[in-house]
């Protein structure tokens, strides 16, 4: 059970945040009354719903709320009139509406998802209270209802966004830059740790999971940057591209760590020339973005000097050297790109970058990892909850029962992305029940005595300003929102003309029933363990690897890296929890998650091999395609293939290596050799060395 103390003293920033939120809410409430909108409390409530810590985030959420409200308004105008006279069909239509939008929302993990969630439950919170008396409903009422609610919500969110943008605005710029620099610092430290060939080698691998989680967290934070008022918005695409490059570093660092371990175990160890390059890279990385461009050029030339030219007679040591130097080349290239992008961010903050920034490409957040099983389960839970409670409302004839499907569907939507929503929903239930006391006091005693806007504002100020201080913190808002927002939402009964004891009690009871149904259906459909979640993400990553073989276009390695690193960021915190259980640590699911970086390296090599294949010509057909198809089938079968079939991959890789080594030496041939060598090391680390067809002295470039 969640625990929270409402009597903690808020900080100065929390008080300021709450006062700004209160000013915005009161401005929306006042203007809605002056304009003559029928439900001014909607403007007040909407202003509070959109508040965020940073001004840009508040503006973005305000925009998404208006978009979501417009989506809901279309549902009210076009959906409800069709089924209003058909009770069962109306219940099914409402359930499908909620389920559809929750399914769409869970396919976008950016803040944009709020627009889809709001589009889902707007039809409930707007239309259902007005449908409590069917005898008063006519078709034109649906249109008027939709237009008025969009106006009230739009006015409220606009006033709330302006208050946070104009009154001591809190900018996200400093937080984003600080988080970005910390990510770059952590990345540099990881690089130095990994290429330190003198370190004590144990079974413990470098912790790249933390870096993956930092990249995803930074990606979510920067989605609000275009709404900021300072120069940071001009470098939004540059920040996105920098995060993509950091993602691309993760498989490269994992591969370099693996190759250093591999070379350390050989009789010859790491050659002196490679040690010298590793020392240069470590020193270069430590200087960060202050490095002159010429230094990266010098290191590349040094790597060029030891890259072997692969021929048919090249032995396994030459191929290992080619693979290792290619990974070092990737490391230098991507790191230099990161340094350059970081310098461009500084230029953009100084107002020098907008013309160049628009040309910078970044991977869309729509390409991030999606748990489709969770999306389907959450959609079905919302559909079942809304449909059943709506049918109960219709069959029972209890007018006030409209609050049950409204609250049930809304809470199914709000907690659809949570791994285990039931404990949080139980907390929402108890806090909603507790809110009946202050809600009743305000609705039945205090506000009826307020005969002016000034008096209403004075009565509202104590609870609004105090509880508004808890909206800035995600944990505090999670525990205080049901208490605070339910109290405010109850005041909309003034607008409906139903502010009496009987209606109030009925609505409070039906609200609690709706949340209970949300708990029941979420428990039935979304009750999964941490291991189940990890298993789902891992299988999703494997399926993406399997799909590489049938892709219509040659996949971009950086796109693959971004999506899979995002998947690793989802696994990492849950993996830490699951590994605390000794029995769970022995399971195949946990072992697959621990080794997921190896799968990421395999996927990157498959993408590079596909790209190299398109530039190479074989006399007897490409041996790469068959290998890629077999690897895709291997991951498509969740790695559950007979041992003999898996061992056959080794001969397939060796066959492809011999075919590639026989090609004329050029850049694409070298890439193919490096990729195949990487696949051999990743899948068969203990296999005997590759044996060439003939012994031919190797040349140096």
Write out pLDDT tens, residues 660-701.
888 888 888 888 999 999 999 989 988 888 888 654 433 333
Q: Using DSSP, how many helices (H) and how many strands (E) does the chain show?
A: 30, 2
CB-side neighbour CA atoms (13 Å) of 633 = 11
| 151-165, 361-375, 525-539, range with the lowest pLDDT | 361-375
- Is pLDDT of 483 > 80? no
The class that CATH gives domain 173-367 is mainly alpha
Considering 122-126, 355-359, 593-597, 628-632, the range whose residues carry the highest mean pLDDT is: 628-632
Alpha-carbon distance of 406 to 414, in angstroms, equals: 12
For the stretch 436-460, pLDDT in tens is: 888 888 888 888 887 888 888 888 8
The strand pairing partners of 699, in sequence order, are: 309
% of residues, the chain, pLDDT over 70: 88
Contacts with 691 (C-beta within 8 Å, 6 or more apart), sequence order: 315, 316, 654
Alpha-carbon distance of 25 to 36, in angstroms, equals: 17
The answer to whether 361 touches 241, Cβ cutoff 8 Å, is: yes
Nearest Cα neighbor of 392 from 382, 383, 402 is 402
pTM of the model: 0.82
For the stretch 400-416, pLDDT in tens is: 888 899 889 888 988 88
All CATH 1.20.120 domain ranges in the chain, comma separated: 173-367
Alpha-carbon distance of 472 to 525, in angstroms, equals: 31
Alpha-carbon distance of 260 to 240, in angstroms, equals: 31
The DSSP string of 636-690 is HTTT---HHHHHHHHHHHHHHHHHHHTSPPSHHHHHHHHHHHHHHHHH-TTSPPP
- The whole-number pLDDT of residue 564 equals 82
Separation in Å, CA 123 to CA 106, 133, 345, 410: 19, 17, 43, 10
Separation in Å, CA 638 to CA 122, 537, 545, 634: 41, 12, 10, 7
Phi and psi at residue 604, in whole multiples of 5°? -65, -40
Confidence of residue 355 (pLDDT cuts 50, 70, 90): very low
> What is the widest separation between alpha-carbon atoms in the chain?
99
The strand pairing partners of 700, in sequence order, are: 308
- Four-CA torsion 403, 405, 406, 407, nearest 10 degrees: 80
Instruction: Let me know the angle formed at the C-alpha of 333 by 332 and 335, rounded to the nearest 5 degrees.
Output: 65
- The whole-number pLDDT of residue 696 equals 42
Alpha-carbon distance of 377 to 374, in angstroms, equals: 5
């Amino acid at each position: 059970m969640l625990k929270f103390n409402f009597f903690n003293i808020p900080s100065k920033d929390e008080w300021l945040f709450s006062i700004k939120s209160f000013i915005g809410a009161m401005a929306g409430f006042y203007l809605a009354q002056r304009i003559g909108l029928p439900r001014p409390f909607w403007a007040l409530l909407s202003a509070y719903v959109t508040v965020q810590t940073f001004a840009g985030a508040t503006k973005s959420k305000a925009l998404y709320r208006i978009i979501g409200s417009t989506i809901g308004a279309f549902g009210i105008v076009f959906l409800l009139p069709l089924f209003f006279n058909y009770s069962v069909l109306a219940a099914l239509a409402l359930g499908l509406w909620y389920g559809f939008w929750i399914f769409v929302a869970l396919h976008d993990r950016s803040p944009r998802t709020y627009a889809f969630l709001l589009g889902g439950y707007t039809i409930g919170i707007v239309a259902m209270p007005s449908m409590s008396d069917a005898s008063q409903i006519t078709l034109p009422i649906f249109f008027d209802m939709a237009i008025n609610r969009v106006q009230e919500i739009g006015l409220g969110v606009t006033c709330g966004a302006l208050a946070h943008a104009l009154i001591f605005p809190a900018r996200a710029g400093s937080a984003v830059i600080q988080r970005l620099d910390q990510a770059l610092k952590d990345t540099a430290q990881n690089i130095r740790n990994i290429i330190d060939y003198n370190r004590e080698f144990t079974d413990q691998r470098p912790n790249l999971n933390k870096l993956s989680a930092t990249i995803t967290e930074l990606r979510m934070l920067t989605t609000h940057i275009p709404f900021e008022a300072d120069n940071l918005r001009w470098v939004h695409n540059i920040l996105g591209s920098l995060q993509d490059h950091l993602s691309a570093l993760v498989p490269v660092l994992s591969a370099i760590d693996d190759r250093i371990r591999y070379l350390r175990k050989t009789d010859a160890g790491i050659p002196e020339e490679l040690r010298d390059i590793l020392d240069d890279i470590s020193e270069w990385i430590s200087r960060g973005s202050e490095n002159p461009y010429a230094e990266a050029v010098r290191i590349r030339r040094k790597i060029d000097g030891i890259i072997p030219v692969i021929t048919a007679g090249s032995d396994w040591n030459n191929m290992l050297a080619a693979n290792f130097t290619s990974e070092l080349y990737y490391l230098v290239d991507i790191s230099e790109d990161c340094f350059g992008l970081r310098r461009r961010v500084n230029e953009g903050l100084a107002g020098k970058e907008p013309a160049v920034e628009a040309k910078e490409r970044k991977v869309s957040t729509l390409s991030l990892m999606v748990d489709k099983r969770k999306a389907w389960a959450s959609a079905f839970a919302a559909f079942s909850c809304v449909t059943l409670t709506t049918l109960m409302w219709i069959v029972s004839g209890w007018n006030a029962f409209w609050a049950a499907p409204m609250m049930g569907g809304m809470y199914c939507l709000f907690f659809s992305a949570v791994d285990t929503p039931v404990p949080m929903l139980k907390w929402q239930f108890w806090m909603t029940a507790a809110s009946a006391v202050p809600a009743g006091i305000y609705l039945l005693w205090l506000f009826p005595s307020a005969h002016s806007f000034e008096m209403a504002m004075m009565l509202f100020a104590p609870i609004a300003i105090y509880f508004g201080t808890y909206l800035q913190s995600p944990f505090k808002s999670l525990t205080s929102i049901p208490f605070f927002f339910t109290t405010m939402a109850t005041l909309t009964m003034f607008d409906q003309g139903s502010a009496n004891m009987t209606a109030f009690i009925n609505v409070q009871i039906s609200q609690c029933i709706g949340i209970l149904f949300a708990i029941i259906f979420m428990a039935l459909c979304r009750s999964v363990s941490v291991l189940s979640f990890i298993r789902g993400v891992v299988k999703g990553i494997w399926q993406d690897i399997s799909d590489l073989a049938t892709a219509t276009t040659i996949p971009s390695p950086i796109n693959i890296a971004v999506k899979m690193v995002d998947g690793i960021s989802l696994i990492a915190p849950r993996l830490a929890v699951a590994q605390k259980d000794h029995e769970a640590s022995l399971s195949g699911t946990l072992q697959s998650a621990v080794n997921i970086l190896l799968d990421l390296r395999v996927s990157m090599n498959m993408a590079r091999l596909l790209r190299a294949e398109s530039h190479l010509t074989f006399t007897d057909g490409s041996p790469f395609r068959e290998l890629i198809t077999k690897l895709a089938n291997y991951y498509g079968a969740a790695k559950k293939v007979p041992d003999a079939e898996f061992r056959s991959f080794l001969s397939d890789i060796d066959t492809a290596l011999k075919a590639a080594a026989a090609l004329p030496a050029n850049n694409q041939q070298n890439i193919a050799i490096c990729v195949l060598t990487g696949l051999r090391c990743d899948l068969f680390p203990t296999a005997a060395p590759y044996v060439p067809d003939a012994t031919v002295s190797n040349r140096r470039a």
